[in-house]
Structure 1
């Protein structure tokens, strides 16, 4: 009997191929051992055009001055937008890369608080995607950051 040497799809590839269902569990599984996992990012909903996630602020998310580190907020928003891109890629695309991102910080959350993020697709073209993410304090609903990124869609070499 011949041995099957074909590689199993990665959890992220599997999430992309789930059809119209919620992909949040597959994305969470696919981040194990990577930055989103190390930061404790949780995915609540993931479908083409929209991703919702959250994190509980712990010591690892804090800057030495005692405030939530901007990079933690960017990691949440960028991961939500990137996972959104994964599940929204056009037919034939093999992946993406971020080519621009911008953040405006309007508030903070203290250690122990929750941070929510909702990323939505603003432009879904053949060669680029633009995503906006709204980051809020779970306890108050107050906006703590606005985020926008542009993704370049990648295709296999012919």
Structure 2
């Protein structure tokens, strides 16, 4: 087949074929290079976004961890739990309840993320450690005060 072609056509075919092969190889290289750059850019943006969200979440839990610390170190709350030792007792009529209730209402009223405040057994154990009072002398039930809209439930 190449025997019938003139020298000029053979040279054009050789140069054209070489250019075609070089263009195809360079196209593969550039497409691969651009895809690697794009992948690196997307991964970098994703990592940056995740880092930002991680910091936001850590800040959120740090902020609301301080709310728990506020409850645990509140002298009114500590004293009230030290004196409240009867399981199932009517705590609403006990002395100091209104002060604690107002603390719950104030804290939950100032932040739309806090809808309910309660003290589980582990928090009671922390309070008893801070007071050096055996945990079993405190009431064994969980006090739950929901302060929503200034009302307790």
TM-score, normalising length: structure 2: 0.28
With structure 1 as the length reference, what TM-score do the two structures score?
Answer: 0.27
Which is richer in helix? 2
Structure with larger Rg? 2
More strand by share: 1
